[in-house]
Amino acid sequence: MAYVTWQVNKTNPFIAEIVMQREDVMNAFNSQMARDFIRICAEIVEQGNIRVVALKSSSSRAFCTGADLKERNGMTEEQWHEQHRLFEQMFYAIADLPMPTIAIISGFCLAGGMELALNCDMWVVSENAIFGLPEVTRGIMPGGGGTRLLSKRVGVHHAKEIILTGKKFDAKRVAEMGLVNNIVPINRLEEAFLELATPITENAPLSVSYCKAAIDELIGLPDDMGREREISWYNKVVDTEDRHEGVRAFNEKRKPQFKGQ
């Protein structure tokens, strides 16, 4: 049985949905789940026509509650480190997807589960969602991007509050911190996702992909280096057939037909 599956969205063939379905443990991820994620991300890239990826749970009770500590109980240090290297590959497989990724979150989103969301580009969140990075309450620390990614989203002060207290935060609070693109009642979650994702799928795929890559790269660079790299990304997108199509469509007063070329 696969704990993670994927499917093409029923209404939009350019959207892939990665679904976590280990409901009995609130999607706590184990080694098999990590391998499922790595395989699925490769399959989505290979598919060739996916323009947005959703990451969601099959249950409204929990998005993901982090690593399965029952599986880890009794591991030697060597086994722990070996498994964590697999988890690192899982996080990076999601973060490195070339197309935008949107986490659709309801219920508990804790520890490594919140880090899975942090490795996505955007969040659509239900009002019942609960967030937290409680690793310090277990004698460990976030190991999937929490200390690296959270401060980029919310600033150092909020990041330290979330990580160092190990407390849980409701959806309204994390939205106030700036983590959320849209917060809605749970019965509007899928609708809100499509409202965010659909316009992205209608844009030039290479333009979107290069913009995502440029934003991720430039955020940490000094301005003089950033200017040079920004123009490098710009020049890459200028040399595409989609750029020619976009200009033609504008002048012909029609909707462009982008092909990702």
Mean pLDDT in residue range 179-202: 97
70 and 25, same domain (yes or no): yes
Mean pLDDT in residue range 180-198: 97
146 and 211, same domain (yes or no): no
224 and 179, same domain (yes or no): no
* Domain-located, residue 157: yes
Distance of alpha carbon 101 from alpha carbon 27, whole angstroms:
19
Indicate the pLDDT class of residue 16, thresholds 50, 70 and 90.
very high
User: Look-up: residue for tokens 């520890």?
Assistant: 111
The partner residues of 168 in beta bridges, in order of sequence, read 132
149 and 224, same domain (yes or no): no
Lowest mean pLDDT among 72-76, 108-112, 161-165, 187-191: 72-76
Instruction: Give the domain range for residue 166.
Output: 4-201
15-20/62-64 β-pairing: unpaired
97 and 44, same domain (yes or no): yes
Length of the chain: 261
Domain count, the chain: 2
* Domain-located, residue 162: yes
* Domain-located, residue 112: yes
217 and 195, same domain (yes or no): no
Indicate the pLDDT class of residue 71, thresholds 50, 70 and 90.
confident
Strand order in the sheet with 108-110: 62-64, 108-110, 130-132, 168-170
167 and 229, same domain (yes or no): no
Q: What is the 3-class SS of 147-169, one letter each residue? A: HHHHHHHHCHHHHHHHHHHCCEE
Distances (CA, A) of 256 to 13, 71, 225, 241: 17, 50, 33, 11
* Domain-located, residue 260: no
Q: For residues 4 and 49, is the Cβ–Cβ distance under 8 A?
A: no
Helices within the chain (DSSP H only): 31-47, 69-72, 77-95, 112-118, 146-154, 156-165, 171-177, 189-201, 205-218, 223-238, 241-251
What is the reported pTM?
A: 0.95
CATH number at residue 143: 3.90.226.10
The pLDDT tens digits for 199-247 are: 999 999 999 999 999 999 999 899 999 999 999 999 999 989 999 999 9
141 and 22, same domain (yes or no): yes
141 and 176, same domain (yes or no): yes
Q: For residues 90 and 36, is the Cβ–Cβ distance under 8 A?
A: no
213 and 97, same domain (yes or no): no
* Domain-located, residue 259: no
The pLDDT tens digits for 101-158 are: 999 999 999 999 999 999 999 999 999 999 999 999 999 999 999 999 999 999 999 9
Q: Among residues of the chain, what percentage have pLDDT more than 90?
A: 94
135 and 247, same domain (yes or no): no
* Domain-located, residue 258: no
* Domain-located, residue 261: no
196 and 235, same domain (yes or no): no
240 φψ region: left (φ > 0), alpha (ψ -120 to 50), beta (else): beta
Distance of alpha carbon 202 from alpha carbon 256, whole angstroms:
9
The 3-state DSSP class for residue 13 equals coil
* Domain-located, residue 257: no
Token reading at 141: 């620390």
